Structures are given as structure tokens and as C-alpha cells.
């Protein structure tokens, strides 16, 4: 078996090594480790490998606290000492800024997750032939699990009792809120259901079950409470998956909205960031594509006694063309694909003085920052550890017009 020394980590937390001048990405291998490898995927310009024997361990290696780490595709950094997972994220962003030749020299502060395990308030699992689990990374091979250490305890209670749902093949999404209440969302080809409701309700605080988009028990929404603000969230509306980091994100938004500014809040979900911004702002205009989320947003403005926020339903790329709004500040929190060309052009036409860009995908964020670079400078960049122990990075960026 070939022997290699791991030099660094790639963006997905895999070890990088070289063999015969070819780059090799090695699963479950950390910098400074010496390992014997087996090539599992040999491409023209790179290879992928797995470790067959560790000859020297890294001092930063820890034993994974999750028994499914070796096979499950959910988390990627559980073999790395926690502080080093944050350094990994810092390096990832530093390297991306450098790769895109973006200027930012103020330091990348990490906003820490106070509870880096049992934090997720939403998980999506697969049930195949009655077995429940996640898929192995980049495959459709089920890894059966009995617990997920990233999910909140309330979600794990559902996982423990999933047999009460009597599902053979389905996608099972479990959501939980600040009060550990539960929404169960089932998508399946099977029309009939046979759920042991009474027993399930003894185990969990069940708010609703949505079966193929039909509410078959209770409600199809629950309420979230963050920093004293209350939000109605429908089963198919987005909500940030980490309550602790969301609370810190709200504080960052509040601190960065100038008094009496006029804010355009794109990709607004249930109105969270716009509602937070509306405390300082004179007016807020929020845009979102999911109807339930917009309806939730309208309710949430009322629940939080906000009268200076308006919601628009539709695709941001189309809405920005139609509305003729005067605004000086933007909040942008797009899905992973980032901004489309139309929206970037809209920004460069309107030239707001400040843009707060919240992103769950640093690759598309960098692309968008590069497009805006001639007019906007990055005045603050923070890394939010929203997805602890995974390679995913949430970014909070403030751009100011030069």
C-alpha cells in the first residue's frame, strides 16, 4: 500500500497529500498524519483514497463521539479537536478570499456555537425497508442510526420512537422549536398510513404531522422564540437550524442597521432578519418566494408589534425588476446558489450604501463579492459556527460602498 504524509485539509475536511506528483484526497486523515492508503477513485488530475493504516496520528485527532462518523455523510470533522474545527473554517475562508483576490485584512472573528452537539432543530432522514438513517456521503447507501448527535434531544426522541410511525419507505423530516415541540413531515409513495398517535404523544410534544403535504394531525406550523421575539413557522418555511447562532445573528443584524435606514430584505423567509432590522429602520421591504413563509412573515410582524415592514411574494430576480423602491441598506440571505445575475445587476444599479450579506455557501458568496468588488469593500466578515463539526460555513459580511 502506498504511504503518504497529509499536508493540509481541503474544503470538505479531507486530507490532501501528493503521490507521484498527483494530488490525493484522503478521507479521515489530518495534517501531519502519515498513512497507508488505498485509492478508491483514480481520475486524470487527482485521486481519492481511504486510509488502510495510520502510521502516525495528528496531535489534533480525537476519537469521534459519534459511532456513525466513519460511514454517515452528515458530519465531517468529528475526528478533529473542536477548536481546530474553527481554525479549519477560518482557513477555508482565508483561502477563498485569497483565491478570489478579495481584500479583507481585519481578521475573521468566529461567532461560536455555545452547544456544538445536539444543536440542530431540523433533520431529514430516509426510511428504507423500515430502516432509518442518513445516506453515506455522495451515495444512496443508507447508514442506519439510532441517534444523531447533531440533532436536538427532542428530535432524538422521535428517532428513538420512529417505529410508531409504521413507515416502510419515506423521507422523514423532523423539526423542533425552542420549546422542544415537534413537527413531523413525511413524504412517501404510500397512500395509507398507520401511526400510533397515542403512544407517540406520550413520548414527545407533538404539534403536527404532515403526510404528503396534508396535515393529518394537529397543526402544520409551530412558533419559534429567539431573543424574546416570536415567529410563526410553517412546516415548509425556512428557519435557521441553530437557535444559539441565530440569536447571535439577530444581534449582529440589529447592531448593523443604522437608525432610520430604509431596508430591502431579500430572501426573507418568515421575516426574521427584516423584523429584527425594523427596530432601528424606518421601513423594511421583505421578499420571499414561499407563500407560507410570506404569510408567516405578515403574522410575525404583527406578533412582534412591527408596523414598518411590508412583504412581497415572488422570485427575487423578477420582483426586483418590478418594484421601484428607494432604499439605502440591503439584507441578503440567499439559498446556497447565491445571487443570480439579475439581482447582482439590480444592486449595481441601485447602489445601496450598505449591504449585509448572510451566506451558507462561501463559494457563491465569494463569486458575488467579486462581482460587487469595484463598488463595495468588505468592512466586516464574521464566521458563524452554525453547522458545528461539519465543513459547512455560515458567513456574515458587511459591505460598504467605497
Give the nearer residue to ligand SAM in terms of CB position, either 60 or 343: 343
Please name the residues in contact with 21: beta carbons below 8 A apart, sequence gap of 6 or more: none
Strands, E assignment, 177-282: 181-187, 205-211, 214-218, 221-226, 229-234, 262-266
Task: By CB under 6 A, name the one of 208, 218, 269, 362 that touches ligand SAM.
Answer: 269
**126 and 171 Cβ atoms separated by less than 8 Å:** yes
CA 345 to chain CA centroid, Å, is: 26
CA distance 234 to 221: 4
Task: By CB under 6 A, name the one of 211, 267, 311, 391 that touches ligand SAM.
Answer: 267
- Local structure of residue 169 (DSSP, 8 states): S
Q: Is 316 a binder of ligand SAM (CB under 6 A)?
A: yes
C-alpha cell at 388: 458545528
Q: Nearest-CB residue to ligand SAM? A: 269
Q: Is 235 a binder of ligand SAM (CB under 6 A)?
A: no
Q: Is 315 a binder of ligand SAM (CB under 6 A)?
A: yes
Compute the least distance from the CB of residue 230 to ligand SAM, in Å. Answer: 14
Compute the least distance from the CB of residue 243 to ligand SAM, in Å. Answer: 12
Number of residues that bind ligand SAM (CB under 6 A): 20
Place of cell 441598506: 329
Q: Is 287 a binder of ligand SAM (CB under 6 A)?
A: yes
Q: Is 240 a binder of ligand SAM (CB under 6 A)?
A: yes
**Residues 51-80 within binding reach of ligand SAM (CB under 6 A):** none
Q: Is 301 a binder of ligand SAM (CB under 6 A)?
A: no
**N residues, the chain:** 402
Q: What share of the chain is helix, strand, coil (3-state, %, to 5)?
A: 25, 35, 40
CA 295 to chain CA centroid, Å, is: 23
CA distance 10 to 220: 40
**Residues 317-346 within binding reach of ligand SAM (CB under 6 A):** 317, 333-335
CA distance 246 to 249: 5
Compute the least distance from the CB of residue 359 to ligand SAM, in Å. Answer: 8
Q: Is 394 a binder of ligand SAM (CB under 6 A)?
A: no
**Residues 137-166 within binding reach of ligand SAM (CB under 6 A):** none
CA distance 301 to 288: 15
Q: Is 219 a binder of ligand SAM (CB under 6 A)?
A: no
Give the nearer residue to ligand SAM in terms of CB position, either 132 or 369: 369
Compute the least distance from the CB of residue 106 to ligand SAM, in Å. Answer: 24
The residues of the shown chain that bind ligand SAM, judged by CB under 6 A, are 238-240, 267-269, 272-273, 287-290, 293, 315-317, 333-335, 360
Amino acid at each position: 500500500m502506498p504511504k503518504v504524509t497529509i499536508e493540509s485539509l481541503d474544503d470538505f475536511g479531507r486530507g490532501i497529500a501528493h503521490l507521484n506528483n498527483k494530488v490525493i484526497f484522503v478521507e479521515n486523515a489530518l495534517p501531519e498524519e502519515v498513512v497507508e492508503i488505498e485509492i478508491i477513485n483514480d481520475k486524470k488530475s487527482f485521486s481519492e483514497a481511504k486510509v488502510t493504516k495510520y502510521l502516525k496520528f495528528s496531535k489534533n485527532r480525537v476519537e469521534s463521539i459519534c459511532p456513525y462518523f466513519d460511514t454517515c455523510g452528515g458530519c465531517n470533522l468529528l475526528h478533529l479537536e473542536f477548536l481546530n474545527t474553527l481554525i479549519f473554517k477560518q482557513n477555508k475562508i482565508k483561502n477563498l478570499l485569497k483565491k478570489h483576490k478579495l481584500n479583507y485584512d481585519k481578521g475573521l472573528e468566529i461567532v461560536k456555537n455555545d452547544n456544538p452537539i445536539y444543536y440542530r432543530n431540523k433533520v431529514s432522514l430516509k426510511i428504507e425497508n423500515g430502516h432509518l438513517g442518513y445516506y453515506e456521503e455522495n451515495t444512496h447507501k443508507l447508514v442506519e442510526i439510532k441517534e444523531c448527535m447533531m440533532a436536538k434531544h427532542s428530535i432524538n426522541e422521535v428517532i428513538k420512537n420512529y417505529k410508531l410511525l409504521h413507515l416502510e419507505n419515506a423521507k422523514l423530516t423532523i423539526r423542533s422549536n425552542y420549546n422542544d415541540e415537534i413537527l413531523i413531515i413525511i413524504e412517501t409513495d404510500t397512500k395509507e398510513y398507520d401511526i400510533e398517535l397515542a403512544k407517540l404523544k406520550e413520548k414527545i410534544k407533538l404539534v403536527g404531522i404532515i403526510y404528503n403535504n396534508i396535515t393529518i394531525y394537529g397543526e402544520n406550523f409551530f412558533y419559534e422564540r429567539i431573543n424574546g421575539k416570536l415567529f410563526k413557522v410553517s412546516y415548509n418555511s425556512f428557519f435557521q437550524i441553530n437557535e444559539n447562532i441565530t440569536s447571535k445573528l439577530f444581534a449582529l443584524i440589529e447592531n448593523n442597521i443604522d437608525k432610520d435606514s430604509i431596508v430591502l430584505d431579500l430572501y426573507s423567509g418568515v421575516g426574521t432578519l427584516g423584523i429584527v432590522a425594523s427596530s432601528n429602520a424606518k421601513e423594511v421591504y421583505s421578499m420571499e418566494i414561499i407563500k407560507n413563509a410570506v404569510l408567516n412573515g405578515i403574522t410575525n410582524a404583527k406578533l412582534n408589534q412591527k408596523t414598518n415592514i411590508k412583504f412581497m411574494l415572488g422570485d427575487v430576480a423578477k420582483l426586483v425588476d418590478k418594484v421601484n423602491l428607494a432604499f439605502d441598506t440591503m439584507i441578503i440571505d440567499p439559498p446556497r446558489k447565491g445571487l443570480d445575475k439579475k439581482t447582482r445587476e439590480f444592486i449595481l444599479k441601485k447602489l445601496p450604501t450598505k449591504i449585509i450579506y448572510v451566506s451558507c455557501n462561501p463559494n457563491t458568496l465569494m463569486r458575488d463579492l467579486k462581482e460587487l468588488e469595484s463598488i463595495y469593500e468588505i468592512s466586516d466578515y464574521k464566521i458563524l459556527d452554525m453547522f458545528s463539526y461539519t465543513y459547512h460555513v455560515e458567513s456574515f459580511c458587511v459591505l460598504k460602498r467605497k
